[in-house]
C-alpha cells in the first residue's frame, strides 16, 4: 500500500513537472530535445523524460513539390470547393499506364468512353449539378480576384448552406455564388470591394448587393463594417508610393474613423482620399485620377473626402 502511494505521488510530481517544463528529478528548467536520439533529456541530471517518439510523417524525403507529389501515396485532402469534396476518381487524360507507358489505340477509345461516363455519374441529381456549376463559378472568380484558398473554401461552405436551406429558389446561381464569395472575403478579412467583385461576376452590382443581404440575414452571418485601412496597403502598392505615404494614410484613417467621419461612406473611396491626403502632407505628387482609378471610385469622391479628412485632423498641406 505504501509503495503504491509513493508511486502515485511520484507520477503526479512527474506530470506536474512536464506541464511546468521542469525536470521531475532535480526540478530545474534544463530540459532539452536531442534530435539525433529522439529524446527529451535533462541537461542537469541526465534524466530521460521521453524517448522513441512516434513519427507520423512519411518515411521518405522530398526536396520540392514535384517530388512530394510523385512519392505521395495518398490522394488530395477533402475540400468544400468541389461538389463531391474531391472523393470521386479522376481518369487521367494522358493515356498512360501505371508504369508511364503509352497505351494502344484501342485502349484510347475505351478510356475516352470511361471518362465521359465518369463525368456523367459524378452528378447524380439537379442539386449536385447546381452545386457543381456554382462552385466552378466561385473558383473562376477567386482566380480572377487573386484571393487566397481559404476564401474559396469559406465561400463554398456558405453556398452549400444556402443550397441546403433552399435560398437559391427564385435567384440566379451566379448571384448567390457571387454574394457567397463577397461574404467570404469580408469574413476572412480580405479587402475586396463590391465593385471589384462585380467586375469579375456575370451579374450586376444591384443583384449582388440584394442577394448578399438576403443570404447573410437568412444564415445569420454578422459581419463588422469594412475598415478603410484594409485597402491602403494594396492601393499604395498599385500606385507605387513611398512607405511614408502609406503610414500617413493609415494614421489619417485611424484618426478620422475614431471621430466617426467614415460612417456611411464608401471604404474604398475613404481609403483613396486618405492616400491622396497623405501624399499632399508628405509632399509626394499623386494624381487624383490615378488614385480614383485604383480604388474604382470617382475623382469627385476623392476630392470631397480628402478635404473632409484634412479638416478633421486639422492639417493642411505645405504650400
Which residue matches cell numbers 475613404?
270
Can you tell me whether residue 96 is helix, strand or coil? strand
The answer to whether residues 275 and 252 touch, using CB atoms and an 8 Å cutoff, is no
In angstroms, rounded to a whole number, what is the distance separating the alpha carbons of residues 253 and 260?
Answer: 10
* Residue 23 assigned as binding residue: yes
* Residue 42 assigned as binding residue: yes
In angstroms, rounded to a whole number, what is the distance separating the alpha carbons of residues 41 and 32?
Answer: 6
In the numeric block, which cell numbers belong to residue 231?
485597402
In the numeric block, which cell numbers belong to residue 229?
485601412
In angstroms, rounded to a whole number, what is the distance separating the alpha carbons of residues 259 and 28?
Answer: 53
The answer to whether residues 173 and 141 touch, using CB atoms and an 8 Å cutoff, is no
Q: How many CB atoms lie within 10 A of CB 259?
A: 11
Annotated binding site: 23, 26, 42, 45
Annotated binding site for Zn(2+): 23, 26, 42, 45
Amino acid at each position: 500500500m505504501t509503495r503504491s502511494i509513493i508511486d502515485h505521488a511520484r507520477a503526479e510530481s512527474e506530470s506536474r513537472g512536464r506541464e511546468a517544463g521542469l525536470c521531475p528529478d532535480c526540478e530545474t528548467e534544463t530540459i532539452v530535445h536531442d534530435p539525433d536520439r529522439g529524446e527529451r533529456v535533462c541537461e542537469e541530471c541526465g534524466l530521460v523524460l521521453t524517448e522513441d517518439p512516434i513519427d507520423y510523417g512519411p518515411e521518405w524525403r522530398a526536396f520540392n513539390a514535384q517530388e512530394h507529389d510523385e512519392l505521395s501515396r495518398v490522394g488530395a485532402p477533402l475540400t468544400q470547393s468541389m461538389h463531391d469534396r474531391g472523393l470521386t476518381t479522376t481518369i487521367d487524360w494522358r493515356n498512360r499506364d501505371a508504369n508511364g507507358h503509352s497505351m494502344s489505340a484501342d485502349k484510347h477509345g475505351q478510356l475516352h468512353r470511361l471518362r465521359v461516363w465518369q463525368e456523367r455519374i459524378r452528378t447524380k441529381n439537379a442539386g449536385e449539378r447546381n452545386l457543381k456549376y456554382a462552385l466552378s463559378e466561385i473558383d473562376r472568380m477567386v482566380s480572377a480576384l487573386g484571393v487566397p484558398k481559404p476564401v474559396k473554401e469559406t465561400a463554398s461552405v456558405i453556398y452549400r448552406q444556402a443550397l441546403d436551406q433552399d435560398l437559391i429558389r427564385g435567384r440566379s446561381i451566379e448571384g448567390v455564388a457571387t454574394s457567397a464569395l463577397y461574404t467570404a472575403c469580408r469574413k476572412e478579412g480580405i479587402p475586396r470591394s463590391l465593385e471589384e467583385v462585380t467586375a469579375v461576376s456575370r451579374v450586376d452590382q444591384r443583384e449582388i448587393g440584394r442577394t448578399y443581404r438576403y443570404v447573410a440575414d437568412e444564415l445569420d452571418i454578422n459581419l463588422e463594417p469594412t475598415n478603410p485601412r484594409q485597402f491602403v496597403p494594396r492601393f499604395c502598392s498599385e500606385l507605387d508610393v513611398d512607405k511614408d505615404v502609406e503610414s500617413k494614410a493609415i494614421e489619417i484613417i485611424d484618426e478620422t474613423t475614431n471621430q466617426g467621419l467614415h460612417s456611411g461612406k464608401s471604404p474604398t473611396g475613404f481609403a483613396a482620399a486618405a492616400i491622396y491626403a497623405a501624399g499632399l502632407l508628405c509632399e509626394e505628387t499623386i494624381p487624383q485620377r490615378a488614385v480614383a482609378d485604383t480604388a474604382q471610385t470617382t475623382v469627385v469622391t476623392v476630392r470631397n473626402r480628402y478635404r473632409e479628412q484634412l479638416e478633421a485632423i486639422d492639417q493642411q498641406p505645405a504650400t
